[in-house]
Chains A and B, each alone.
Chain A
């Protein structure tokens, strides 16, 4: 024991314990064989709990017609089964949804290893059970030892019976309680013969096939040993849980190397057994030699399958690529603190093994400080195929090409012999073999070599037109030819095949590069999704959907189809369920996965750093077999690229939103401070003047009293103007639809505005100049007057006393231009456009003219709602003054525009 290790609880352990508390508890009744009494034990225990008023429901029990067991169900609530049509029959299956809805404290679900019929949510019952547990329901279930994944090949060897229905070891390991239901083999056989397990006709068959004392003893030992291991684990668990210092397991870590050979699965299982025996973590590693990547689709599939099996067995998995395999394995092992390496006897050729170049040999020689287990397996009779036959058709084509080359060589050889008097035509045949190798590859070239050998013999070697050879030296020449043809043809063909493979790889890379460039250029999320869907559809030669969480609902997945190729916007209910499952569990679901395999699509979660954002659904055109490994890889690379792009687009969108929000907040702050200033200043004045009059009015002179009353009046008007401008602003912002579109005469409105301004600024001179034939405009006269008054007010306010303000209107560009020119100090150029923004006021401090910061923006809003424009020019006369220019479209123009633009509000009727 390390002396400095503090005796405290391991946080991971505590967390695991906490997780166990919110999940339902799983109790497995483990038996060595059918008929040992698992169901019986489960039900009789359940009955006791029922009597103690626990909410127990029988989700599903198979009684196999056993009377004793059936009697036990009496008095227990049994969940009705769901009828599932399957091959014309109705199967009565466990109803998961009903079970979840019923939500009892404890549910009994028999036969954990059962496989559900297609169309079920999960292909396996243990997945149903996992969902029940997730929902917080305690589950009791029964399992026979031969159904355990890691034992299936052991069982097959021991009993000669291959088990198809298996349960991952992790299920048993994750169970909270395991109860072994045990009777002796002899007793079990007695039970069988008494017909208490199967009906007599089945029983006889079973007795011969399975219920042999040897089998039963072996299975019983497996069950007991497995449970003993578990008890051991629990003891260690208990020690850790209570921070008791004790015999800790050594820090073993096991690495298993797996490859594409069929023995890998058996090697992995052996390693898994070793790991669980040692209570050590297991890492499954697959490694490729760079430059000689695995291309055989079968091997790739097997690697994937074995890695998946490793995950099911609870192992970590890793993939590496390296030039020097033993070196890379040992380096990885060193980095990961691996203490034991498990490896299968390598499939290297006898020649390589003789020279000590097998992987296992190299590992044994170079390893230091690591134990190496070499697993020998009986090589199962696998059909080994030297080449990946692409398809029957292409084989035929290649053969035809090979024959064609040879057939061409015969007349050419004849011609060459006749013209050049060359007796030896072997060079011509050699050329044909090379040509064949260059055009169709290695193996057709070898075939062509053989054919050439025969043809050369037949047509050119005397006696001609026979396959016999007269001269011994010609026989030697003939075989030399064969050897040369095979070797050169083979080599040339291999070079060509490699070039082809390199070209294919380059094409794939180019395609990926193109996609990534396109994705990089796509700015919006929709573009990204569309590109992803299109390219992925090309990669799988089928259909692709991209679903994203719209985030409209906080708790449930709110998935919606955001892109599809070919375009599609409907999904079947099974597919929806699979998509949601993939999203919520963040694991693949749908076609050819463990969940809802009957769905049309296979859904993979899109995992970004912020978590899962959606799913990609793919439905390959060819549904009869899994997606070929190279396509699968291309798809994965695409989805990875797409994920990055989606993340980027989302972040960009978020940044834009944040910016908009910051902008809005800034505007709100400005609004608040402007409101507080513009409302408070007149209010202060009114309140101050009013209280002055009330408290000290009697002591004031008449002049002071009048002035205070005038101040109150002025500031009340100012407030009223401010409020009406605020209201106008709201109206204009709410949309132009409530704007009236009367015929308006600009001169009238302008005169009205000037009259109002003169009331407010009696000492200001207003010069009015109107052009001839001013056209009518369409709009709201009251709002327009307010707008023009605001412009005038602004001009008057910002120009010194005693100066003149010029107001003019002229016909211009099929409309009216109105100018308001003052003789003030002007507006700095950068502020010329800003003055029309809300709450923008040029100048600082409380001393600036009392304005609202709204007047010009209201004017702009009104003018633009009427289809016009407004702008400021400064300086406008002799380097001084500001000119505010308003252009309004003439009634005719604005009517056309109104009709063309579809904005016909009130246009036609008047």
Chain B
């Protein structure tokens, strides 16, 4: 893993800050901790971090507003901290440009993994890869070829588009809306059932056990995520 990345942690709860600072430091980050939105934006402009951890419930301004301010100037990866039952907040944050989210209460390992995925993705956007690997799944975007456990899989163009989209953002959650807009175009935004049908078919084709999906994961109420299982392999590769 690359040396030290600076992370800006924005959370008003001291108890959260109290364990995040030592844990993230120990995980190899340089931690900047702020307790309010104002402070966070000041800090962000003074010394731009490489990744941001942002709590949605801030006392002075809404986390979404902070995110919008950040997105005005920077594509820096942002991981949201939110309550488990706040699906609307998560979706809104993801659609406003957040890269991922972690529901409270969370384990530090989970947060660190999400932060690393977000950082890596930021790197990947710069140099696009032709071949993606996720577990047993290999997608060759140049040859439009998909293999599972070495066996080629026949996909319809839409299925391929969905899979390709998820693979490009492997490990990250994509909202239903984002997938629909990307694959079907902006006018099919409400047709959630299309997506469910296609995801069902995709799982039939690429999952070892479609009833217990390991690759195409559902994030209830939010969207879908392609498991970042390949992360380990990539890390080994680096």
Residue numbers of A with Cβ under 8 A of B are 676, 680-689, 691-692, 695-697, 699-701, 704-705, 707-708, 711, 715, 844-847, 850
Contact = CB atoms under 8 A, between A and B. Distances in A.
B27 interface: yes
Nearest to A682: B15
A688 B22 contact: no
A681 B13 contact: yes
Contacts of A681: 13, 15
A735 B108 CA distance: 44
Contact of A695 (B13, B27, B59, B105): B27
A845 B106 CA distance: 20
B20 interface: yes
B23 A845 contact: no
Contacts of A850: 15
B57 interface: yes
15 contacts: A680-B104, A684-B16, A685-B16, A685-B18, A688-B19, A689-B19, A691-B108, A692-B26, A695-B26, A696-B27, A697-B26, A704-B25, A708-B22, A845-B57, A845-B58
Interface of B: 12-13, 15-16, 18-20, 22-23, 25-27, 35, 55, 57-60, 83, 85, 104-109, 112
A761 B23 CA distance: 27
Nearest to B18: A711
A846 B26 contact: no
A700 B20 CA distance: 12
* A-B CB proximity, top 9 nearest: A696-B26, A692-B23, A845-B59, A685-B15, A704-B22, A691-B107, A699-B26, A684-B105, A689-B19
Contacts of A707: 18, 22
Contact of A700 (B22, B57, B60): B22
A38 B12 CA distance: 95
A690 to B, nearest CB: 8
A680 B13 contact: no
Contacts of A715: 15
Contacts of B83: 676, 680
A217 to B, nearest CB: 78
Nearest to A691: B107
A845 B55 CA distance: 12
Nearest to A699: B26
Contact of B106 (A688, A696, A705): A688
Contact of A847 (B12, B19, B104): B12
Given A676-B85, A689-B18, A846-B57, A684 B23 contact: no
A680 B19 CA distance: 15
Most buried by B among A687, A691, A715: A691
Contacts of A676: 83, 85
A28 B27 CA distance: 95
Contacts of A845: 12, 57-60
B21 to A, nearest CB: 8
A696 B23 contact: yes
A847 B18 contact: no
Nearest to B60: A845
A708 to B, nearest CB: 5
A720 to B, nearest CB: 16
Nearest to A698: B26
Nearest to A701: B22
Contacts of B59: 844-847
Max count, chain B CB within 10 A of own CB: residue among A687, A692, A707, A708? A692
B107 A688 contact: yes
A699 B26 CA distance: 5
Contact of B108 (A680, A692, A705): A692
Nearest to B22: A704
Contacts of A682: 15
Contact of A685 (B19, B35, B58, B112): B19
A907 to B, nearest CB: 46
A237 B16 CA distance: 80
Contacts of B16: 684-685, 688
Which of B15, B16, B35, B106 has its CB near the most chain A CB atoms (within 10 A)? B15
A676 B85 CA distance: 10
B26 A708 contact: no
Contacts of A844: 59
Given A692-B22, A695-B109, A707-B22, 11 more contacts: A676-B85, A688-B16, A696-B22, A696-B26, A696-B27, A697-B26, A704-B25, A704-B26, A711-B18, A845-B60, A850-B15
Contact of B104 (A684, A692, A700): A684
A823 to B, nearest CB: 22
A144 B6 CA distance: 105
Contacts of A699: 26-27
B197 to A, nearest CB: 34
Contact of B19 (A701, A711, A846): A711
B106 A700 contact: no
A688 B13 contact: no
Nearest to A689: B19
A700 B19 contact: no
A700 B26 CA distance: 6
B60 to A, nearest CB: 8
Given A681-B13, A682-B15, A695-B112, A688 B58 contact: no
Contacts of B25: 700, 704
A844 to B, nearest CB: 7
B105 A683 contact: yes
B19 A692 contact: yes
Which of A688, A699, A700 neighbours the largest number of chain B CB atoms within 10 Å of its CB?
A: A688
A270 B106 CA distance: 89
Contacts of B20: 688, 692
Nearest to B55: A846
A325 B95 CA distance: 77
Contacts of B106: 684, 687-688
Contacts of A846: 12-13, 55, 57-59
A696 B19 CA distance: 11
A683 B19 CA distance: 12
Contacts of A688: 16, 19-20, 23, 105-108
A689 B18 CA distance: 8
Given A707-B22, A708-B19, A695 B57 contact: no
A56 B126 CA distance: 90
Contacts of A847: 12-13, 35, 59
Contacts of B60: 845
B18 A687 contact: no
Nearest to B26: A696
A711 B13 CA distance: 13
Contacts of B104: 680, 684
A846 B22 CA distance: 22
A687 B13 contact: no
B18 A696 contact: no
Contacts of A704: 22, 25-26
Contacts of A683: 105
A850 B18 CA distance: 15
B27 to A, nearest CB: 6
Contacts of A686: 105
Interface centre among B12, B58, B108 (most CB of A within 10 A): B108
A696 B60 CA distance: 32
Nearest to A714: B15
Contacts of A705: 22
Contact of A687 (B27, B58, B105, B112): B105
**Most A-side CB within 10 Å, residue of B16, B18, B35, B57:** B18
A844 B61 CA distance: 12
A847 B11 CA distance: 9
A695 B15 contact: no
B15 A684 contact: yes
A699 to B, nearest CB: 4
B112 A711 contact: no
A855 B235 CA distance: 51
